[in-house]
Amino acid sequence: MKIGIICYPTYGGSGVVATELGIALAEKGHEVHFISYAFPHRLNHFIDNIYYHEVEVSNYPLFEHSLYCLSLTSKMLEVIEFEDLDLLHVHYAIPFATSAYLAKQIVKKKNSNIKIITTLHGTDITLVGLEPSFLPLVKFSIEESDGVTAVSKFLKETTLTNYNIEKDIEVINNFIDTSLYKPIKNVAMRKKIAPNGEKILIHTSNFRVVKRVTDTIKILELVKKEIPTKLILVGDGPDRSECERLSRELNLQNDVIFLGKQDVIQEILPCGDIFLMPSQSESFGLAALEAMSCGLPVISSSVGGLPELNMHNKTGFIAEFGDVERMASYTVSLLNNEKKYNIFSANARARAIENFDKKLIIPQYEAYYEKILSE
């Protein structure tokens, strides 16, 4: 099968999932063509059956703003024709599904029967797509896709309700390579971060406001009153400066470690004891899944698809977003009870393996591709 994958090549969850999907499909013998403005950051070594096509954006002086959507459509047309693709799999409704639809209408003239599959990841539906100017475009692009998948039941129901769409949406969860994300402690790193045996909390995100990263610092402040603790923050984004300011204001600058963006998160996560995800909006929670696979119990908010992933009082605890007192209390209760902590840790790892391992999810995508191609 020849598959074109279109995604954002950055650190966001949709780009990570799309890239890991492409890698897994290539390893199974499919021919995968990534189409984007930059090389996906998870493609950090040569992989057979994977090809990259860069979208070049025109800088013609007449255009005040870049015409990325049209440049992307042109590149799609080129790859469809010269690589003889079977389908385009776009990750994010806008602008990718819209560009794919336009490309399909053009290649129809050449008797090409390219199929389009759109995977909905979250903010393309719950945030950006709900802006009045974008809503009709998102609705149209979803309805005109040959197949649509969503990463959680929550996102599927939200899409059908918010956009009044009558279309079959397949739920295919995000996945993880549990052989890569595993609970092997990095003793040297842990000793460097917590030289006096402190407990370690971890949070990873793109530091947007909806991630409520500042809440993790407030949780640390409360936990430290009971247990010596450090907090590792991995990632970067618009809220980082506020987080740094808050850590200084609370006199926690020596207990909050900002690592910035990291490519080898699987080496960092096992150093921690508990993963914090206090998000205000989360359609699935890929970062939490990565932590669970490394054996970290998760303390999360109850929003979006998180309750589908993090099982309350089994793999971690769930509280209302913004309730830092309850999240801190849950954290202390786990850190103070070694037996309970070990059970939760084992449950988290088991849930990742038994429900979200790539060996389980990739075949679901392959089966869905075959279904759409046969229609």
For residue 232, the domain's CATH number is: 3.40.50.2000
**CA gap 375, 373 in Å, rounded:** 6
Whether the Cβ atoms of residue 73 and residue 57 lie closer than 8 Å to each other: no
Please report whether residue 181 resides in a domain.
no
Residue 302: which domain range? 187-356
Please report whether residue 233 resides in a domain.
yes
Residue 142: how many CB atoms within 10 A of its CB?
24
Do 83 and 124 fall into the same domain?
A: yes
25: helix, strand or coil: helix
Phi and psi for 371 in degrees, rounded to 5? -60, -50
Token representation of residue 200: 């370690």
- Asked if the peptide bond before residue 61 counts as cis, ω within 30 degrees of 0, the response is no
Residue 62: how many CB atoms within 10 A of its CB?
5
Phi and psi for 24 in degrees, rounded to 5? -65, -40
Do 157 and 16 fall into the same domain?
A: yes
Per-residue pLDDT of the chain (375 residues; tens, 9 = 90+): 999 999 888 766 778 899 999 999 999 999 999 999 888 877 877 889 999 999 988 776 666 667 788 899 999 999 999 999 999 999 988 789 999 999 999 988 776 789 999 999 877 676 665 667 778 888 888 999 999 999 999 999 999 988 888 889 999 999 999 999 999 888 889 999 999 999 999 999 999 999 999 999 999 999 999 999 999 999 999 999 999 999 999 999 999 999 999 888 999 999 999 999 999 989 999 999 999 999 999 999 999 999 999 999 999 999 999 999 999 999 999 999 999 999 999 999 999 999 999 999 999 999 999 999 998
Do 240 and 281 fall into the same domain?
A: yes
Residue 263: how many CB atoms within 10 A of its CB?
10
Please report whether residue 239 resides in a domain.
yes
Do 164 and 212 fall into the same domain?
A: no
Do 209 and 342 fall into the same domain?
A: yes
Do 143 and 196 fall into the same domain?
A: no
Do 199 and 343 fall into the same domain?
A: yes
Please report whether residue 180 resides in a domain.
no
Do 200 and 293 fall into the same domain?
A: yes
Query: Regarding beta strands 50-54 and 115-120, do their DSSP bridges make them parallel or antiparallel, or are they unpaired?
Result: unpaired
Diameter over CA atoms, the chain: 69
**CA gap 52, 34 in Å, rounded:** 5
Do 274 and 366 fall into the same domain?
A: no
Token representation of residue 331: 């954290």
Do 161 and 12 fall into the same domain?
A: yes
Token representation of residue 116: 């389009």
Do 6 and 129 fall into the same domain?
A: yes
Do 338 and 191 fall into the same domain?
A: yes
The closest of 98, 154, 101 to 126, measured between CA atoms, is 154
